[in-house]
Amino acid sequence: MKKTLHLIFWLIVIGIVLLLFSGLAVGEKDWQRQREDLVGEVEAMVASTRDYLQQEALDKRVLDALRKVPRHEFVPANRRAYAYSNQPVTIGYGQTISQPYIVAIMTEMIKPEPGHKVLEVGTGSGYQAAILAELGVDMYSIEIIEPLAEQAANNLKQTGYTAVHTRSGDGYYGWESEAPFDAIIVTAVASHIPPPLIKQLKPGGRMIIPVGSAFMNQYLILVIKGADGKVTTRQILPVSFVPLTGTH
């Protein structure tokens, strides 16, 4: 009798463990399916904005990074249902994780290559930094809101992007001790292109930055520093970003 009870007990335990694991597996499969659908939406949006972007499609490596990075791990638990909708998601402190289409085109515009040293201004949730880290770049990211910087560092650690360097501070001034950078990505709108960032860009480097007024008339601007140090800019498309804050 005692032996039978023992057996039943262990069968129940094994049953519960199996149930838990199959639940997790279904969850991950579902996230993957949602990411695949999202990639389809981003591709369609890129095609419909081809005249602005001056290209029909994104680099497959960028799409593969979108397929791989678990965006749901970068949004607050109560917003996970929206993690794979092609829209910005609130992350607290009045800030947002950018729309996936915007993340994708900004990533594309700086032409990241493995081994490039890249600076991001505006870590937010850490998602954009994770996408770039997935592409093999040596990633540096600055966030002005300290609790967000901590949260992002934690998100990056939890998802395995442990090599991303993060710190809290005013990104208007860049990260001088680590400069120069092959590319710079600014994820908050500035009234002008910060001169310290231009200075910290390598000759031949690219910067993508939204420029305009805080809540209207903003454009994504691609800045290219020529091999001779000469800077040229190209207006890409109208966008809507939270403001670049700080004392500058």
Catalytic residues: 98
- 28 vs 185: CA distance, rounded Å: 30
Q: Report DSSP letters for 151-169, one per residue.
A: HHHHHHHHTT-TT-EEEES
Position 140 contacts ligand SAM (CB under 6 A): no
Rounded to the nearest angstrom, the gap between the alpha carbon of residue 193 and the centroid of all alpha carbons in its chain is: 21
- 91 vs 74: CA distance, rounded Å: 8
Helix, strand, coil percent content, the chain, rounded in steps of 5: 45, 25, 30
Q: Which of 73, 108, 134, 143 binds ligand SAM (CB under 6 A)?
A: 143
In the range 77-116, which residues lie near ligand SAM by CB under 6 A?
Answer: 95-98
Position 38 contacts ligand SAM (CB under 6 A): no
Binding mask 219-248 for ligand SAM (x = CB under 6 A): ----------------------xx-xxx--
Q: Which of 70, 100, 124, 212 binds ligand SAM (CB under 6 A)?
A: 124
Q: Which of 128, 159, 166, 200 binds ligand SAM (CB under 6 A)?
A: 128
Position 53 contacts ligand SAM (CB under 6 A): no
In the range 152-211, which residues lie near ligand SAM by CB under 6 A?
Answer: 170-172, 187-188
The count of residues interacting with ligand SAM (CB under 6 A) is: 25
Position 42 contacts ligand SAM (CB under 6 A): no
- 119 vs 137: CA distance, rounded Å: 10
* Helix, strand or coil, per DSSP, at residue 220: strand
Position 76 contacts ligand SAM (CB under 6 A): no
Angle (deg, nearest 10), helices 127-134 and 100-109: 50
With residue 185 as reference, give the H or E element that holds it: strand 181-186
- Which CB, 45 or 214, lies closer to ligand SAM? 214
* Helix, strand or coil, per DSSP, at residue 123: coil
- The residue ranges that bind ligand SAM (CB under 6 A) are 95-98, 121-122, 124-125, 127-128, 142-145, 148, 170-172, 187-188, 241-242, 244-246
